[in-house]
Chains A and B, each alone.
Chain A
Amino acid sequence: MDISFFSPPEITTFFHKNPQKNDPYLDMQSTNNQPQSSHTSTSISSDSGEPCGDGKWASRLLRECATAISDKDSTKIHHLLWMLNELASPYGDCDQKLASYFLQALFCKATESGQRCYKTLASVAEKSHSFDAARKLILKFQEVSPWTTFGHVASNGAILEALDGENKLHIVDISNTLCTQWPTLLEALATRNDETPHLKLTVVITASIVKPVMKEIAQRMEKFARLMGVPFEFNLISGLSHLGGLTKENLNIQDDEAIAINCIGALRRVQVEERTAVIQMFQSFQPRIVTVVEEEADFTSSKNDFVKCFEECLRFTTLYFEMLEESFPPTSNERLMLERECSRSIVRVLACDDEIGEGDSECRERGSQWTERLREAFSPVSYSDDVVDDVKALLKRYRTGWSLQPQQADHESGIYLAWKEEPVVWASAWKP
């Protein structure tokens, strides 16, 4: 990626820049015929009080800006950033939010402060991430949207079927969903016809923001398991700087255990170069089943092409924000927190070179790309009809707009959660 693409402007006097009259982006009305005065205001005819269906000006402006950056067109960049700055708001409609968060990333990039900005944002978020707030957030999100529960239901179904009949289960949970996946699985284990198996749950967290709350989560899980009458052991691995550091020993994998590896949004946090190694490491643990859930976006293959990367980031974020806007009530703090989390990821993807290290990579890949990688070590497992039915039943509990898409083509596997026909989350299951 480019490091710097234009020199900062001279700021000795503030001067008015008269936007072009025939600006292609906005239908602007010049409000008076004055010669250059310092504060000529310009009006736009689009009503930004409308919900995001109208206008979609943010995408247009942002795309133009990305192209201008790639072309190193300094004047155009300034003009567009100015417009974005004036129109953006993180508290307005979808367009205003997109403008605001992408502007933030572009500004960090332009001032070469991406790494610092990201670190500041991440550390602030971590400090204010109390147990109550985190729990409330994820539960509310799961209540209004199947974004996370889709993967949970599919994975639990696959895990239960693969480990059926086993007595000592060991699930390695590499996720940051605060164990919200496991109560239903525990319940299923408890209500199995045969003897309730022993479950060891080893949670590996990769997002540092989640660390402070896991202690409380652990206690609650143990309590819940006791209530369910499931013999249960909980372990937490939180100190890892990258997944490659996992070993049979630190996971405490025993030979008589039936292993399931559950990766929810975990693989994308692995540095791209290490992904093959991590998958091979999973293979070395000899799991019965590996469940992988990832968001359907590609920030990896276009890493060296700023415009492509930007467009993909914009496409995915737009979908995500629109989904959030339609799922939550209008003045929801939970939605705001999710948007802010996404905004950190945008800064990470667009404004930081890859040397940040320390896990927390955000390089998503699509299901088809993950499939290619996983096929090196595993073969795909189709979800059974029962599991598919469970997922469909889950989706029915939410507002319209959600659907289940089966795998698209032969070289793919897994199922997709779709929002307004667009695939957004991919879930798959694998065996050795």
Chain B
Amino acid sequence: MQPHEQWDSSYASPGFPGGGSNSIPCTKPMIDNRGINHLERNHRDFPQWVQQVTEQLVENQPETGLSESLQTSAENNIVPALLGELRPAKSARRNPIEGSGQQHQWFAELGDQITNFSNDAKGGGSMAKGSDDQSLNLMTLLLECAVAISVDNIAEAHRMLLELTQMATPYGPSCAERVVAYFAKAMASRVVNSWLGMCSPLISYKSIHGAFQVFNNIAPFVKFAHFTSNQSILEAFHRRDGVHIIDLDIMQGLQWPALFHILATRMEGPPHVRMTGMGTSMELLIETGKQLSNFAKRLGMSFEFHPIARKFGDVDVSMFQIRRGEAVAVHWLQHSLYDATGPDWKTMRLLQQLSPRVITLVEQEIAHAGSFLDRFVGSLHYYSTLFDSLGAYLQSDDPSRHRIEHGLLYREINNILAIGGPARSGEDKFRHWRSELPKNGFMQMPMSTNSMAQAQLILNMFPPSHGYSLVQGDGTLRIGWKDASLYSVSAWTSPASR
């Protein structure tokens, strides 16, 4: 990694907000306990190399690690561990984020350390050659860039992004490099919309739905979510004649045919099914409704579809026209593509008003709240894992893989980094809904063994099944890749429901 050219202050043109200074605080880093705890929080889950880089910096001993020989992670294409020895596992404790000012200070020091580290790295002897070196350099530069953005040094970030966007390729064999390419692009997009002062998204839903469908076919995560939540809904609808499913973001309704099939053929006979499909575009909702109605008709199941092209939180409970005696299931498959539901407190309030028999909640294991750097680090870990999982069985030039990475995952990354965030939207997002629901009167219904069985069946359909991890705990079911958990499914009920 070349040491960065020094920008002279004339570069900080009035065009860049916060320009004029391009310095990241250069104080000697102190080992701050809270900083370490923050790192430890997700320690267990980090891809090993990211963990090693950041640990390296906290412990402030760049030279010792480098003389070790390197382990290569042969199974996947992520950058090998920098340090030969494995650090002893630290306990993973979740600490809430301390004041953001503290955060900025610590990460600013981190950024400085990264520069020092990478300079030392060049001087060290036994770095792995070739593309691993390249991936490491890119990743380091990406982290530095995130730090620059987090302290509003947009000018410096822009310059680093010019480098990154020339160097990283999303088509190569290195998963890390692919991730960097998309992250860099998202941050470049953020630089532009920061400068413009306009951060609302412009989305091609058709394109996203198409990519989502490919994702559904190629990777097990979506089917995992669908089939396990269908199982919970089925159980909640036991012996009920009138049922009403509210899907908070139905998209193309890929989930429901399987459930309809089971409902239509259940022993006590099919119920009358009402479905309220919510989403972004009325045109697409109507189309989805048509497809589902045709399918239900073929099954001989009586079915009504009601589209609502609004965000869930912005709707009044009366719009759902809940009928007496009908069992209500609310299904929420969360994603990061765009904001599907609106302010969280409104969503919670509406859920309480609906008092559903069951809420099936699928969450991504990323926190949507927190500072830019929190979201950056969290999503870097998350998407690195996802990209690794795709790279484990798809060729680097596989067009479906590209469709998923570019058309779906990149859109999420862009939404998280370039669009989203409480500082921009003025909204506070809950960290995890499954922590919030119990605080608001909902009771968890643990995922049954049938759900677990469903999940296992799904995994067996997708090679390499040994790479995926299935964990049952705290009443939830979680699917992940290797050690990192990616999606969780949980089910809840309102005590007021009948």
Query: Using a CB–CB distance below 8 Å, which chain A residues touch chain B?
Result: 7-11, 14-17, 19, 29, 31-34, 37-49, 78, 81-83, 85-92, 103, 107, 110-113, 116-117, 120-121, 124-125, 127-128, 329-333, 336, 340
Contacts and interface: CB of A to CB of B under 8 A. Distances in A.
Contact of A110 (B15, B166, B169): B15
Interface string B392-413: 0000111100110011001000
Interface string B5-21: 00100010111110000
A17 B202 CA distance: 11
Given A41-B338, A90-B185, A127-B2, A85 B309 contact: no
Contacts of B172: 333
A318 to B, nearest CB: 20
A422 to B, nearest CB: 28
A124 B167 contact: yes
Contact of B14 (A8, A46, A333): A8
Contacts of A128: 166-167
B204 A38 contact: no
A95 to B, nearest CB: 11
B339 A9 contact: no
Interface stretch (B31-39, B422-430, B435-443): B422-430
B201 A41 contact: yes
A340 B207 contact: no
Contacts of A330: 397, 399, 402
Contacts of B200: 16-17, 38-42
Q: Report the interface size class on chain B.
A: 35 or more
A49 B207 contact: yes
A124 B280 contact: no
A129 to B, nearest CB: 11
Contact of B410 (A14, A19, A89): A89
B283 interface: yes
Contacts of B282: 29
B338 A120 contact: no
Contact of A39 (B2, B204, B397, B419): B419
Contacts of B287: none
Contact of B397 (A44, A48, A81, A331): A331
Contacts of B402: 91, 330-331
B3 interface: no
Contacts of B450: none
A121 B162 contact: yes
Given A17-B200, A43-B204, A116-B11, A38 B427 contact: yes
B416 to A, nearest CB: 13
Interface string B156-200: 001100110111011110000000011001000100111111111
A11 B185 contact: no
Contacts of B338: 41
Contacts of A329: 397
A124 to B, nearest CB: 5
B195 A111 contact: yes
Contacts of B67: none
B202 A47 contact: no
Given A44-B202, A116-B159, A331-B399, A34 B171 contact: no
A45 B281 CA distance: 10
5 contacts: A47-B204, A107-B192, A107-B195, A124-B162, A124-B163
Given A8-B195, A9-B197, A14-B197, A89 B202 contact: no
Contact of B163 (A11, A32, A111, A120): A120
A43 B205 CA distance: 6
A91 B162 contact: no
Given A41-B200, A120-B159, 18 more contacts: A11-B195, A11-B197, A14-B199, A17-B198, A29-B282, A32-B314, A37-B342, A41-B203, A42-B203, A43-B281, A44-B203, A45-B206, A46-B204, A92-B406, A121-B166, A330-B397, A333-B171, A333-B172
A16 to B, nearest CB: 5
A397 B207 CA distance: 36
Given A40-B200, A82-B193, A110-B15, A34 B314 contact: yes
Nearest to A33: B310
Interface of B: 2, 7, 11, 13-17, 158-159, 162-163, 165-167, 169-172, 181-182, 185, 189, 192-207, 210-211, 280-283, 309-311, 314, 338-339, 342, 396-399, 402-403, 406-407, 410, 419-420, 423-427
A85 B201 CA distance: 10
Contacts of A110: 15, 195
A19 B200 CA distance: 10
Contacts of B396: 331
Which of the listed residues A8, A37, A41, A49 has the most CB atoms from chain B within 10 Å of its own CB? A41
A98 to B, nearest CB: 15
B169 A85 contact: no
B492 to A, nearest CB: 26
Nearest to A107: B192
B166 A124 contact: yes
Given A8-B15, A44-B204, A81 B197 contact: no
Query: Which of A39, A40, A78, A113: most chain B Cβ within 10 A?
Result: A39
B316 to A, nearest CB: 13
Contacts of A103: 192
Given A85-B192, A91-B181, A331-B402, A43 B424 contact: no
A14 B424 contact: yes
Contacts of A29: 281-283
A120 B11 CA distance: 13
A8 B198 CA distance: 13
Contacts of A33: 310
Which 9 pairs across A and B sit closest by C-beta, in order of nearness?
Answer: A86-B202, A111-B15, A331-B171, A38-B425, A47-B206, A9-B197, A85-B192, A8-B15, A124-B166
B130 to A, nearest CB: 11
B166 A125 contact: yes
B178 to A, nearest CB: 10
A405 B67 CA distance: 62
Contacts of B165: 90
Contacts of A9: 195-197
Nearest to A343: B166
Nearest to B399: A330
Nearest to B190: A85
B202 A112 contact: no
Contacts of A19: 202
Nearest to B164: A124
A32 B311 contact: yes
Nearest to A18: B200
B15 A112 contact: yes
Contacts of A117: 162
B126 to A, nearest CB: 21
Nearest to B411: A89
A374 to B, nearest CB: 35
Contact of B13 (A11, A112, A125): A112
B7 to A, nearest CB: 8
A336 B185 CA distance: 14
A43 B203 contact: yes
A112 B426 CA distance: 31
A329 B396 CA distance: 12
B5 to A, nearest CB: 8
A16 B426 CA distance: 11
A11 B193 contact: no
A117 B311 CA distance: 41
A66 B334 CA distance: 39
Contacts of A10: 197
B196 A113 contact: no
B170 A91 contact: yes
Contact of A43 (B196, B280, B397, B419): B280
Nearest to A31: B280
Contacts of B427: 38-39
A85 B15 contact: no
B309 A32 contact: yes
A17 B197 CA distance: 9
A333 B171 CA distance: 6
